Each structure stands twice: as structure tokens, then as C-alpha cells.
Amino acid sequence: MWLSRIARAAASGGLPAPLSRCIPVSEFYIGGALDKYISIPNLTRQPLLKRWWQHFFIVETDKTIWTNAVTIGLILFFSGWLSTPPMEKLDMVYLNGEKSRILNAWHNEGKRPALAMALQGGWIRYFLRGLDHPFSLNEKKDALFKMRENYLIAKHPGVQYPFVFRHFNKVQTPDVLEVHVYPTPQAHTDWKNAPHH
């Protein structure tokens, strides 16, 4: 393709001259290929709103006409059902969702990103929502607990859950482990075939 352009330019005596003015869209859009394939033909010669009214209230084809799809799209667009939440609600919507937790676990493999997520929620509440006190008392205690947990994880290798009960006990099992099983089930009365009173 580029070889043919070079050959054409050489045959015409060089490259084409630069444009002397800005070409408006109307010069190459109206009547061209774009207009042929993109514009919707109005074969009935009726106004759009009249056709819309007929499709909804006169023609009884159930959800097979383009006006239904366009109407649903307009409802979704103007109602905002599918729009993303505003930045002020990131800590209420996104950070508590599955996508955020999966991405945090993926990018922090082998780590515990709970403290970073809590601090990020406070950052959002302070800077985006404008709260002067972004952490409640319980959230402060929770953040300090997570900070202590991260310190213990970093200090003691191999301990991932430092506040689980088994980490505080040095369990030593005896050499001979006696396992007491349940007694063997005894024969019981067959109530289905038992004689009735």
C-alpha cells in the first residue's frame, strides 16, 4: 500500500502540497460513504416521535423493535443505574467489594494489606469527602490492631496469623497418642417393622 503511494507521488512529481485551509467535516461527510452506511433511512417519511408512539402503543410486537432498546438505554443513562460511584463513595462501595479485595490480594502476595486498606479508606473520607475526623474510635483501634499484627508478622517469620490461639501455646503431643473412638454401634430396634400396639 505504501509502495503504491510512493509510486504515485513519484509519477505526479513529488508529494502533494500541504493543505491551505481547514477542511470542515461537512465537506467529506454529507453524501459520502459515512453518510451512506451510518445514517438511519426514514423510509416511511414520518417524524421520529410519531414512529416512537406507534411502536409503543399501536404496534403490538413485544420488545422486538429498536425503540425499546433505545428507551432502555436512555433510562439507564439518565437514571445512572450503570454509572460508577462517585469518588466520595469509594470507601463505601469499591473498597468493600470483591474486586478491590481480589486485586489487593493479588498485588500483595504473602502480605496482609488490611492496614493499607483501612488507611486508604481514611484518606478518602478526609480528602474526598471532607470529614475532619475520618476515623471513628473503633476504626482507630482496628488500625492499631492491624499495625501491631503487621509488626508481629514481620518480626516472626512463618507466623501469618499472630493472634490465632494456637500460636500462643507450645503444644507438645505425647509419644504415644491414645485416640478414644466411639463405641461400636449396637443393634437397635427396627421401628419400621416392629409390632404395633
Looking up cell 500462643, which residue turns up?
168
Same domain, 105 and 159: yes
Q: Is the dihedral of CA 144, 150, 156, 160 positive or negative?
A: positive
- Structurally, the chain folds into a number of domains equal to 2
What pLDDT, in 10s, does the model give residues 41-69? 677 788 888 888 888 777 766 656 778 88
Read off the pTM. 0.44
Is residue 11, in this structure, part of any structural domain at all?
no
Work out the number of other CB atoms within 10 angstroms of the CB of residue 117. Answer: 17
User: Residue 30 has what pLDDT?
Assistant: 59
User: Residue 74 has what pLDDT?
Assistant: 92
Same domain, 45 and 94: no
Work out the number of other CB atoms within 10 angstroms of the CB of residue 128. Answer: 15
**Residues contacting residue 104 through CB under 8 Å, at least 6 positions apart:** 113, 116, 117
Please tell me the distance from the alpha carbon of residue 116 to that of residue 188, in angstroms, as a whole number: 60
Q: Name the band, by pLDDT with cuts 50, 70 and 90, for residue 9.
A: low
Same domain, 67 and 109: no
| Spacing of C-alpha 11 from chain mean position | 56
What pLDDT, in 10s, does the model give residues 79-129? 988 888 788 888 888 888 888 888 888 888 877 888 888 998 999 999 988
